[in-house]
Amino acid sequence: MNEEELKRLIEKYYSGLSTDEDEKALRAYFINNTAPQGYEAEREIFSFYSEAGDVPEPSADFESRIIKALDATSGSDKPAKFRKLLVPLFSAAAGLLILAGSYFFFIHSAEPKDTYSNPEIAYAETMKILMNVSTRMNHCTRALKPVGRINEMKVKSFGSINKSATLVEKNLRSLSYLRNSDETDSASKEKTNN
């Protein structure tokens, strides 16, 4: 069997149009020959079919036995219908309970409660709490003062680095001026020599 015929038979097999003779020819080919490159999967398939043997044909009463089995299971439909009615009913009841519970929860928790009946005591307690918050915030800002000093030192050190960089740049300019003057002197000497 050449590769084109092999390809045609495999395409027929995968499209479901192959006959028993075609499949027998494919089994015989893959058992007796090594699979060409790209047909390793088909070799596995047909070697499995060869090892498994022939699949027996179903008996004559096969369909009737299946239909009887289906009818026997469909006879016990009453509990399934009962269950189909109860699930939506219980779901609706659970939804109503959740809505009622959340309504009562939010209604009763939303009411503000007055903790102090005397406004002077309430004012004094508020001032005490605010003073406590202020003291704690001031304590925390004192702890951050060293961080501010680090920033000051950074600014000072960058300032001194900038000063030294400007001095180096200034000295380099003077050196480049000298180099330029040396080059002009050597160029004028060459002109006079020529």
Contact (CB, 8 A) for 50 and 27: yes
- The answer as to whether 156 is a domain residue is no
- The answer as to whether 34 is a domain residue is yes
- The answer as to whether 19 is a domain residue is yes
- The answer as to whether 179 is a domain residue is no
- The answer as to whether 93 is a domain residue is no
Which pLDDT band, with edges at 50, 70 and 90, does 182 fall under? Answer: low
Which pLDDT band, with edges at 50, 70 and 90, does 153 fall under? Answer: confident
Look up the domain containing 39 and give its range: 3-54
Residue 30 has pLDDT above 70, yes or no: yes
pLDDT, mean of residues 46-53: 73
- The answer as to whether 48 is a domain residue is yes
Q: How many domains does the chain have?
A: 1
Instruction: Dump pLDDT digits (tens) for 85-116.
Output: 888 888 999 999 999 988 888 877 656 666 67
- The answer as to whether 30 is a domain residue is yes
- Contact residues for 22 (Cβ-Cβ < 8 A; gap 6+): 9, 12, 13
pTM above 0.85, yes or no: no
- The answer as to whether 46 is a domain residue is yes
